[in-house]
Amino acid sequence: MFVTFGKSPLRAKRMSGAMASLTGGEGYELSYLLDNYDWASLNASKATIVDVGGSIGFVCIDLAKRYPDLKFVVQDLPKTIDSAPKLEGDLAQRITFQAHDFFSPQPVKNADVYLFRWIFHNHSDKYASKILSALIPSMKKGARVLINDHCLRDGFGEESMWDEKIIRTMDLVMLTLLNATERSERQYKTLFENTHKDLKFAGVKRIEGCRMSIVEAVWEGEDYGGA
């Protein structure tokens, strides 16, 4: 679907506008991600964060403005990277844009965090596992995978009726358009386990007022990153 839209400038523009409207809408504001994860400790260790499928870098730009010692690599397909803003000053020194297909082996080794926002719900388990597997040859022990996406409740009644409707509707949309799915905590844990025994599920953070959760896994296997 995304490849098809990319071939038509008009469709691509419409799609971009629709996504901007959705991702900036109530319950999806970027501030929830920025305010509810321990970026400060990563900043203290001068961490490197790779935003995989990070579009034109708006997540990393906002993080960089808050945390002066973080470094970033924003990855997306070539046409998207070509449209990224030209940064200046300190931001240009700390944010790198890189063309990359996330089904291919990850070129950035030894990063501290590999971030995926609005990525995994576009893919079935088969392809989601391929995305994760592509990271492993580049990961150092202790590296984190952060997924910022919907996380379904295993039962009903834990979300408001309105939020439940929106998230479940999105699940059906993903199935219809992409043969994909929104996942529950249990399904994310299974996805990590089935990808590699050393990719350990570390939990889900649900944020009041936000429809998206922060799903985390940690690589506890061999330190491939320095190889």
Contact 82, 55 (CB under 8 A): no
Examine residue 21 and state whether it is found in any structural domain, yes or no: no
Which of 147-180 are b and which e, b meaning 16 or more Cβ less than 10 Å from the residue's Cβ? bbbbbbeeeeeebeeebbebbbebbeebeeeeeb
Summarize pLDDT for 124-136 with one digit per residue, the tens: 999 999 999 999 9
Q: What per-residue confidence (pLDDT) applies to 227?
A: 47
Overall residue count recorded for the chain in this entry: 227
φ/ψ of residue 101, rounded to 5: -95, 120
Domain range for 104 is 2-13+27-219
Q: What per-residue confidence (pLDDT) applies to 151?
A: 85
Q: In this model, does residue 94 exceed pLDDT 70?
A: yes
Which of 121, 123, 150, 196 is labelled catalytic? 121
| pTM score, whole prediction | 0.86
Q: What per-residue confidence (pLDDT) applies to 224?
A: 74
Q: What per-residue confidence (pLDDT) applies to 176?
A: 66
Q: DSSP letter for 121, please.
A: G
Q: What per-residue confidence (pLDDT) applies to 15?
A: 60
Residue 3: pLDDT band by 50, 70, 90 thresholds? low
Helix (H), strand (E) at residue 202: strand 199-206
Examine residue 80 and state whether it is found in any structural domain, yes or no: yes
Q: In this model, does residue 208 exceed pLDDT 60?
A: yes
Share above pLDDT 90 across residues of the chain, in percent, rounded to a whole number: 63
Residue 220: pLDDT band by 50, 70, 90 thresholds? very high
Where would I find the H helices in 101-179?
Answer: 125-133, 161-178
Examine residue 40 and state whether it is found in any structural domain, yes or no: yes
Examine residue 53 and state whether it is found in any structural domain, yes or no: yes
Told to judge if 196 belongs to the known catalytic residues of this protein, a careful annotator would answer: no
Give the number of domains in the chain.
Answer: 1
Summarize pLDDT for 23-64 with one digit per residue, the tens: 666 777 899 999 999 999 999 999 999 999 999 999 999 999
**Mean confidence (pLDDT) of the chain:** 87
- More confident: 121 or 173: 121
Q: In this model, does residue 80 exceed pLDDT 60?
A: yes
Q: Read off the CATH number of the domain in which 197 is found.
A: 3.40.50.150
Examine residue 19 and state whether it is found in any structural domain, yes or no: no
Average pLDDT of the segment spanning 136-146: 97
Examine residue 144 and state whether it is found in any structural domain, yes or no: yes
Examine residue 226 and state whether it is found in any structural domain, yes or no: no
Q: What per-residue confidence (pLDDT) applies to 20?
A: 59
CA distance 197 to 194: 7
Look at the block and give the residue holding tokens 């297909």.
Answer: 101
Examine residue 56 and state whether it is found in any structural domain, yes or no: yes
Average pLDDT of the segment spanning 101-110: 97
Q: In this model, does residue 172 exceed pLDDT 70?
A: no
